[in-house]
Amino acid sequence: MSKQETPATVEVRPKRECDVCFGFDDAPRHVVALTGEDVIKITEEQMETFRSNVDLNTSEGARALSSLIDRTTQYRHMDCCASVGCPDGSCYRVRAGVEHLRNDELVAHLTKGA
Ligand SMILES: [Zn+2]
Ligand SMILES: [Zn+2]
């Protein structure tokens, strides 16, 4: 059998907000739960940044907005999470040696198996 490039199964990941840079895309996230004093309030300016990144008329956009307002569950790009201090260190471990990878490249790296 000739080795043909079969397209990898494309897993559609929902677009999400990032609670650090307020971007909106489908790059891998670390979901971080915050409680009590660790909860970081969102500023007007940050909300404005988010609004300019997102079409709030889409269901994804609307969901991301309500999720953004809930500050106790944060979706963070793994590189953003690492930059602000990853609570469990997983973003440092996952990205060790592959700090340049983002989005699909990082997903491919994470899912290629041990
Ligand atoms: Zn981010
Ligand atoms: Zn993290």
Instruction: Report pLDDT for 67.
Output: 94
Q: Which two tokens stand for residue 114?
A: 């041990």
User: Given a cut of 80, is residue 47 above it in pLDDT?
Assistant: yes
Centre of ligand 2 from the C-alpha of residue 8, in Å: 27
What is the spatial distance between Cα 51 and Cα 27, in angstroms, rounded to a whole number?
Answer: 18
Centre of ligand 2 from the C-alpha of residue 28, in Å: 11
Print burial letters for 28-61: b (CB count within 10 Å at least 16), e (below 16). bbbebeeeeeeeeeeeeebeeebeebbeeeeebb
Centre of ligand 1 from the C-alpha of residue 18, in Å: 5
The pLDDT-based confidence of 110 (bands split at 50, 70, 90) is: confident
Of 3-7, 31-35, 66-70, 85-89, the poorest mean pLDDT is in 3-7
Name the more confident of 84 and 2.
84
Instruction: Report pLDDT for 49.
Output: 95
Centre of ligand 2 from the C-alpha of residue 4, in Å: 37
Instruction: Report pLDDT for 102.
Output: 86
* Residues 50 and 22: beta-carbon distance below 8 Å: yes
The ligand placed nearest to the CA atom of residue 20 is 1
